Structure 1
Amino acid sequence: MSIEFARWWPILGLVAAPFIWRLSQNSTLGSSPRHRAVSAAFRISVVVLLVAALVEPVWHRSGKWMSVVYALDVSSSIDPAFVGTAIDWIASTNAEGDPAHAAFIAFGGSARAVPTVEGIRTVEVSSDGGNRSINQSVTNLEAAVTRAFRSFDSRYLKRLVLITDGNENAGNVSRVLGEAQKNEIRMFTLPATVRGEGDSWIEDIDLPDEIREQEPVTATVRVFSRVATTTTVALVGDDQTLETREVSLEPGLNEVDFEVRLPAGGAGTLSGRVQSENDSFAQNDLYTQAVSVGARPRILYVEGRLASAIYLRDALSTEGMDVSVVGPESLPETAAALENFDLVLLSDVPMDALGDTQINAILEYVRDSGGGFIFAAGESSYGEEGYA
């Protein structure tokens, strides 16, 4: 137990206490000695309380008001010998700290709470997660941390000890870190010893926020390697190999860029696969994440001279866009009809070829609906009869 003060200078105010007592005793007022003593004691008490408030004392009292959750990674990327050592360390650390509450979790592809730390040794594990066992081929830190949050005793201070190699190949632990801060959960991480010195794996795949079908996009595959090596990295979309590259990896995190087109719209998966000659641990060579692919961009191409539309139409189609080619007379007269397209492209359309309703429809489509609009001028667009 200890007491700390935020500031010391207010203690000087206690010097006034003797003076208050002496002035009270020497008072010439016609009061009794007992009355003067009580009055002086009251005034001195006020000074003492004021000083106590100004120094802001903090009383520290030792206690065991703590809920600790230990989460141990038992995936196959962890050295089995380390798992046994970690269990012994948890047992001794927990016995020494003796918290008010403790919980123990083993995790891989899923997370499971056990009643005692020794229970981690007997948790059922497998390479595929069958029969409700822990899938050792997957490391899901998000599932482990989420399970840990549910294991705390809400009456105590919350502490999470996470023992892992950090090789997350499923889930996304960053999605739940905000909850730790919100609930004042302090997290401590201990690095686990991994098996396979020449191991390499895919950390994640970075994609643009919005992806369209057949649209060229850059997919960045982040590959972590323990050693300098040459490896083959493949990008696979819905079980179809999109591109394969042979790259040289440096120790640490490497970025490999792929220029690809996703062939189908809707919900799907994108996987990265790494293959190295010296990689003796193949269970973490595949990383898969869900992707949502939007429909191909829809372009309404209004051409003043339909005979020449073939060149731009083919160029846009090659870039993964759905192009509808029409003449000026077929341009819709309502903004609602134009909303079926992502972009309206007017190319060399004479001014007198468009009616007022068509022009107003384009105006509303761009101004109110946020539609795209490109005007490509040509011979028919200039002059006294043109737009400018």
Structure 2
Amino acid sequence: MFEHSLAFDRPAYLLLLLLIPALWWLGYRSLAGLGRWRRWFALTLRALVVLLIVFALADVQYQRRSEGLTVVYLLDQSLSVPADQRDAMIEYVRNSIKQHRNDAKGDRFAVIVFGRDAEVEVPPVSADEALHGQVESLLDPEYTDLATAIQRAKAIFPYDAAKRIVLVTDGNQNVGNGYREARTAADAGVSIDVVPVFLEPRGEVAVEKVDIPAGVRRGQPFDMRVVVRNDMKPGDDTPVDGRLLVIRKAGDREEIIAEQDVSVGGGKQVFTIEQQIDQPAFYTYEAKFVADDPMADAMAQNNNASAFTHIRGKGQVLFIENVEKKGEFDHLVERLR
């Protein structure tokens, strides 16, 4: 499992070991009066001292080389990877361990799952039973941070084994700099293998924005516009059918003001809803699209958007007239009323 050896940073000093036979010969003659055993003991001690001094000058180092390998699997659990492929990653890790791990050399494995952050699902172990049938760590799946996952992997590597990272991901990172962190790990002696997750092209529907005036007078009609975008799969012109839901919120009050079946074709489509509010307050409008066929929409997390507006009370006009010409602008006053 381990290989032991000595290494020297300045091996040229080892030539001084040639002095030991000369010192032994000179000492053997000069110490003849000590008796046989005392003379041999003195000569051996002198040779040992010289040997230690030469080794110190040559900067001797004791090395223990391990043949064991620790593999850390980084599993992408973000929403950009379909749920069935995220579940299949555990089975991939299990098969990879059975195929490549060498118990005789002390190989170990670990599993880290990541989204916005990274969590250690399984620490470095050698037992297959440590691998669960599903991911148990709680993550924020709306982001992908490869850099944090690689940093966490470097932190849990044991010191006495070769280091390898197996990165299972679709590569769609939106937080951090995974490339820079991978270069840093490689410079530190960590080998990195990438298992790409290939995604089938699918249509993507998103609620791009809700457009309403920022401020409106009480009782004044206005239009609320919901912009929905459909990025169709190449070669497929089939629109995506679903339901558009619009909710209006004011404080603790919440009500559905529109719910209709819509068909979203390619590109952008604008849905207009007329509104008129008589109660002054701050209002939040939230629009949500729900596809009839979930497989027609690659990511449901971007299917809602919101905006707010302030409904102001009726305006008042202060009219000042000349007391000497009172009534001169009565017609204007009536028109303002």
| TM-score, structure 2 as length reference | 0.41
The higher-RCO structure (CA 8 Å, 6+ apart) is: 2
Normalising by structure 1, we get a TM-score of 0.36
Max Rg structure: 2
